[in-house]
Amino acid sequence: MTYNTILVLVGVGLLGAGAGLVGSFAVLRRQALLGDALAHAALPGLCLGFLAVGERNLFAMLLGALITGLLGVGLVAVLRNKTRVREDAAIGVVLSVFFGAGIVLSRLIQNSTTMTGSKAGLDSYILGKTAGMIAADVMLIAGVAAAAIGLVAFLFKEFLLVSFDAAFARVQGWPVQAIDFVLTALIAVIVVIGLPAVGVVMMAALLIIPGVTARFWSERMSRVVVLAAAFGVAMGLMGTAVSATYNKMPAGPVITLVGTAMFAFSALAAPRRGLLARAWNRRRDIWQADYAEVLRFAYEFEEAKAVRGLAEFQRVKSWSPHRIRKLLSETLRSNDATFAMSPGYSLTATGRAKAIDVVRRNRVWRRLVSDYPDLVSLARPLTNESPAEYLPSLVVADLETKLVAEGLWPTLSPEGVR
């Protein structure tokens, strides 16, 4: 690796970390696409910066980009707050008109005869290009990114407060508007310094993907932010490495696709919030509910002194034969029931204790629907959840008394099952 390669990697790594940090706040504040608008709105500023200095000077160009970018975000806010234009349309208008203006200016620069030479290399800002960056540019990017990271660390608590509950922060006397502006300006700074490496279109990806991906792995914002920074670094480094190794691999798209892969993996495999984990938990919940139902039916069959073979269980609920066989064999395996040819499945002592619980809950829920029609919206008759957790205790007590009086309240004593 040459010195320049290492420098580029460090620069892009810091950029990724910064983007991950501020991006997770942007995602939290539902401003994900504001970053996209910002990146597009920065284009005319790049050109104006070039026109102002008359040569390719990254600092001037990025300053111009920052100014028009912030102007664009400000316009979105004004349109949203003061006119009939809604936020999505405001973002779209600013994004497309500013970008159109940027194209106009960049074509002006390219067509003008007075300014020859590299023509600012404006095209590389659309899709990003890490390979051609010179050391001084990388230093600038890395320095600004590092400063932004430091500022986020310093103002972390303030940003958190304003992002989660701006109204509360205002009541507490925090300068919400100032904090809000600093955060937006930080997002703008990161977006702008990202343009040379990642490009206008894909900057949104570097901003959004780390934050969204980190969200799958933790519920705590402090951890989400650190993880997002790490994901941002990974995106930047891996993307740049791949882009530098292979021919015809623009940096921006590769960085984006590295992020997409991380996002897809996290969305699937993250513990607790991943799709697989949630599907597995759902399966387990349904199984537990079904198992409780089986115990209830077993009890109610015994109560009615009915035959209780496989066919009977199958008749009372639309379980598949395979499902009911699995559920019943589970009752035998966990010693909740025994089986004899006649009368079929009988609950054991432990099984009966469990079943009585289920039956009680079920009867309270069902009775609630008929006796307290006002409270129907609270009823959860198809679950095995405890009524006491959802209903006023007076109501539960009343329903219990009624059920006891009618002999429908199962007890552990032998006469519970006649």
* Positions in the binding site for other proteins (CB under 8 A): 27, 30-33, 35-36, 79, 82-86, 88-93, 95-108, 111, 123, 126-127, 201-202, 204-205, 207-209, 211-212, 215-216, 248-250, 252-254, 256-257, 259-260, 263, 267, 273, 275
Q: Which residues pair with 340 in a beta bridge?
A: 344
Retrieve residue 289's tokens.
Answer: 């509910």
Smallest distance from the beta carbon of 15 to other proteins, in angstroms?
A: 16
Check: CB of residue 165 under 8 Å from CB of residue 171: no
Smallest distance from the beta carbon of 39 to other proteins, in angstroms?
A: 11
User: Which amino acid appears at position 251 of this protein?
Assistant: A
CA dist 357 and 296 (Å) reads 9
CA dist 254 and 248 (Å) reads 11
Choice between 31 and 362, CB closer to other proteins: 31
Which residues neighbour 146 within 8 Å (Cβ) at sequence distance 6 or greater?
14, 18
The answer to whether the peptide bond before residue 210 is cis (omega within 30 degrees of 0) is no
User: How are beta strands 337-340 and 344-347 bridged, if at all?
Assistant: antiparallel
Choice between 13 and 239, CB closer to other proteins: 239
Smallest distance from the beta carbon of 204 to other proteins, in angstroms?
A: 5
Check: CB of residue 145 under 8 Å from CB of residue 17: yes
Choice between 211 and 232, CB closer to other proteins: 211
Choice between 126 and 324, CB closer to other proteins: 126
Choice between 259 and 344, CB closer to other proteins: 259
Choice between 212 and 399, CB closer to other proteins: 212
Smallest distance from the beta carbon of 35 to other proteins, in angstroms?
A: 8
Angle between helices 176-198 and 135-154 (to 10 degrees): 150
CA dist list (Å): 260 to 107, 265, 371: 32, 8, 54
CA dist 213 and 227 (Å) reads 9
CA dist 98 and 44 (Å) reads 7
Choice between 40 and 361, CB closer to other proteins: 40
Q: What is the largest CA-CA distance in the chain?
A: 104
HEC per residue, 239-268: HHHHHHHCCCCCHHHHHHHHHHHHHHHHHH
CA dist 301 and 187 (Å) reads 66
Check: CB of residue 267 under 8 Å from CB of residue 216: yes
Choice between 36 and 336, CB closer to other proteins: 36
Smallest distance from the beta carbon of 208 to other proteins, in angstroms?
A: 4
Choice between 2 and 83, CB closer to other proteins: 83
